[in-house]
Amino acid sequence: MGSETERRIPVINFNEENLKPGSDSWVSSCKHVRHAMEEYGCFEIVCDDFLLELHNSIFAAAKDLFDLPVETKNQKISDRPGSLGYVAERPWSPRYESTGFDSPETLQGAEYFTNLMWPQGNNTFRETVQSISKRLVEMSQTVMKMVAESYGVESVFDSIRESAFYTLRFFKYRTRRLNESDVGLAAHCDTSFLSILHQHQVEGLQIKTKDGQWIDVKPSPSSFVVLAGYTLMAWSNDRVLACEHKVTIKEERTRYSVGLFSHIKGVIHVPEEMVDEEHPLGYTPIDSLGFHAFRLSEEGLKIIASICFAA
Ligand SMILES: O=C(O)CCC(=O)C(=O)O
Ligand SMILES: [Fe+2]
Mean pLDDT of the chain: 91
Q: pLDDT at residue 142 above 50?
A: yes
Residue 309 lies in a domain: no
Q: pLDDT at residue 296 above 80?
A: no
Q: pLDDT at residue 307 above 70?
A: no
Q: Cβ(245) to ligand 1 under 6 A?
A: yes
Q: pLDDT at residue 148 above 90?
A: yes
Domain that holds residue 251: 4-303
- 286-293's contacts with Cβ under 8 Å and 24+ in sequence apart are 286/231, 286/234, 288/191, 288/193, 288/231, 288/234, 288/263, 288/264, 289/80, 289/81, 289/82, 289/263, 289/264, 289/265, 290/81, 291/191, 291/230, 291/231, 292/82, 292/191, 292/263, 293/81, 293/82
Residue 157 lies in a domain: yes
Name the closest-CA residue to atom 1, ligand 1: 257
Residue 155 CA to ligand 1 center (angstroms) comes to 32
Residue 258 lies in a domain: yes
Residue 141 lies in a domain: yes
Give the total number of structural domains in the chain. 1
Task: Indicate the pTM of the whole model.
Answer: 0.93
ipTM of the complex: 0.99
Residue 270 lies in a domain: yes
Which range (96-100, 170-174, 176-180) has the least confidence?
Answer: 176-180
**CATH number of the domain that residue 206 is part of:** 2.60.120.330
Residue 196 CA to ligand 2 center (angstroms) comes to 10
Residue 308 lies in a domain: no
